[in-house]
Structure 1
Amino acid sequence: MAIQFRSGSREEPEINLIPFIDILLVVLIFLMLTTTYSKYTELQVNLPVADAEQPREYPREIIVSVGQDGRYAVGGQVLESASVEALVRALQQAADGSREPVVIISADAAATHQAVVNVMDAARRTGLNQITFATQQARGR
Structure 2
Amino acid sequence: MRIRDRRAEDVPEINLVPLIDVILVLIIFFVITTTFDARSVLKLELPRAAGQPNDAQSNSLSLLINADGRYFVDDREALRTDVESLKRTIIEVAGDDRERTVLLRADARTPWQAVVTAYEALGQLGFTRIANATAPEAPAPAAP
State the TM-score, normalized to the length of structure 2.
0.59
* 1:89 Cα deviation from its structure 2 partner: 0.8
* 1:122 Cα deviation from its structure 2 partner: 0.3
Contact 2:65 2:105 in 1 (8 A): yes
Provide the alpha-carbon RMSD of the alignment: 2.0
If you compute each CA radius of gyration, which structure gives the higher value, 1 or 2?
A: 1
- Could you list the per-position Cα deviations for residues 11-47 of structure 1 after superposition, in whole angstroms to 9, with x for gaps in the alignment? xxxxxxxxxxxxxxxxxxxxxxxxxxxxxxxxxxxxx
Contact 2:98 2:127 in 1 (8 A): no
Cα distance in 2 for partners of 1:91, 1:80 equals 12
Cα distance in 2 for partners of 1:124, 1:87 equals 12
* 1:109 Cα deviation from its structure 2 partner: 0.5
Aligned to 2:109: 110
Q: What amino acid is aligned across from residue 135 of structure 2 in structure 1?
A: Q
Contact 2:66 2:106 in 1 (8 A): yes
Aligned to 1:120: 119
Aligned residue pairs, count: 94
* 1:59 Cα deviation from its structure 2 partner: 5.2
Aligned to 1:94: 93
State the TM-score, normalized to the length of structure 1.
0.60
Q: What amino acid is aligned across from residue 123 of structure 2 in structure 1?
A: R
Q: Secondary structure at the match of 1:86?
A: helix
- The percent of aligned pairs where both chains have the same amino acid is 29
Q: Deviation above 2 Å: which 4+ runs of structure 1?
A: 51-56
Unaligned runs of 5+ in 1: 1-47
Cα distance in 2 for partners of 1:59, 1:121 equals 24
- Could you list the per-position Cα deviations for residues 54-85 of structure 1 after superposition, in whole angstroms to 9, with x for gaps in the alignment? 33323531111111111110102222211110
Aligned to 1:76: 75
Contact 2:49 2:134 in 1 (8 A): yes
Cα distance in 1 for partners of 2:81, 2:48 equals 28
Aligned to 2:63: 64
Q: Secondary structure at the match of 1:69?
A: coil
